Amino acid sequence: MNDNTRGILFIILAMATMLTSDTVVKSVAQELPLFQIIFIRHIFMTIGLGVMALRDGGFRFRPTPQQTRLVTLRTIGECGIVCFYMTALTMIPLGTGTALFQLQPLAVTLAAALFLAQPIGPRRLLAIIVGFAGVLLIVRPGTEVFGLGGILILLAVVCVCLRDITTRILGASVPASVLAVMGSTALLILSFVLMMMQGSWVPISLAQFGLIVAGACFLMIGYLAMVFAMRFGDIAAISPFRYVSLVFGILYGFLFFGEIPQPVMLLGSVIIVASGLYTFLRERTLRAKVEAARV
């Protein structure tokens, strides 16, 4: 088994376990307040990521003022992703929410062109426009997605752009474990504040607690699998397999919530994924040409 095959297997594992964690949260949120669930989950997440940061020597890191500003913006983006996306999943079907969230690679490409001055040709711009057309097929008047749930997913995508753009600016200057533990700690604090604003603590059963802990474990496995995927495989080879999360989202929605995907939603999903894959492949081709010209 070569490194790219290992990377692909790890990224598929990451997508599966992260969607499993989302499924657990959506299920338990039918009985418990969402931010109480996120608070409990991120107690375990913060401890686990803190141990990883300690092992990597991340706590010896001393950021510059510019790095502090960028890390703060990235952390805001990370918090927004979780809060907006998980809230949306309590309102709309899991498969639909996962499909809309696949817009993120296209949105990040557009954001990089706008804020990082990265060149974007007419073909990739057309692919982004087509991808947004796929979103309109999913979010259309008269459906349950045409409302707050769909808006929250799109806000989560905006937060992905904020997180990824600031991460690209930071580069390798800040250890990944530090970024992860700071994001989890911020979510821990934010979810506690929002939980208190919503009302008092709701007693939980042993089964509910077990599910939340299991969700945290799945999320940690997903995080570690993503790290291993990036270490083993070539990013150009493994990144397209991120879209396998759509398959898991639709499958889990059907198995656990009885969600039947509508043909129009599936068509919109195919358009979004196809646009994203074209954008990715086009970027890889252009990068290869630039590297060949340098030789």
Predicted confidence at residue 232, as pLDDT, reads: 67
Q: What is the mean pLDDT of residues 44-65?
A: 82
Q: What is the mean pLDDT of residues 42-65?
A: 83
| Residue 16, pLDDT above cutoff 90 | yes
Considering only the C-alpha atoms of the chain, give the largest distance between any 2 of them, rounded to a whole number of Å: 64
104: nearest Cα among 273, 236, 286 = 273
| Residue 150, pLDDT above cutoff 70 | yes
Query: What's the number of CA atoms in the CB half-sphere (13 Å) around residue 220?
Result: 19
Instruction: Tell me the residue type at 277.
Output: L
269: nearest Cα among 237, 239, 240, 243 = 243
Number of other CB atoms surrounding residue 224 within 10 Å: 16
Among the ranges given (185-199, 219-233, 251-265), the one the predictor scored with the smallest mean pLDDT? 219-233
Q: What is the mean pLDDT of residues 166-191?
A: 85
Number of other CB atoms surrounding residue 232 within 10 Å: 19
Of 30-34, 124-128, 257-261, the range with the highest mean pLDDT is 30-34
Among the ranges given (137-141, 156-160, 239-243), the one the predictor scored with the smallest mean pLDDT? 137-141
Phi then psi dihedrals of residue 143, to 5 deg: -105, 165
**Cα distance between residue 110 and residue 186, in whole Å:** 27
Q: What is the mean pLDDT of residues 201-208?
A: 92
Predicted confidence at residue 292, as pLDDT, reads: 64
**Cα distance between residue 7 and residue 109, in whole Å:** 23
**Cα distance between residue 108 and residue 124, in whole Å:** 12
**Cα distance between residue 147 and residue 107, in whole Å:** 20
Predicted confidence at residue 291, as pLDDT, reads: 65
How is 135-149 classified by DSSP, letter by letter? HHHHS-TTSTTTTHH
Q: Are residues 169 and 52 in contact, defined by beta-carbon separation less than 8 angstroms?
A: no
Of 27-31, 111-115, 277-281, 288-292, the range with the highest mean pLDDT is 27-31
Place of tokens 């890390």: 71
Query: What's the number of CA atoms in the CB half-sphere (13 Å) around residue 31?
Result: 11
pLDDT band at 295 (very low <50, low <70, confident <90, very high): low
Q: What is the mean pLDDT of residues 265-269?
A: 86
Q: Are residues 53 and 178 in contact, defined by beta-carbon separation less than 8 angstroms?
A: yes
| Residue 155, pLDDT above cutoff 70 | yes
- Phi-psi domain of 146 (left: phi exceeds 0; alpha: psi -120 through 50; beta: other): beta
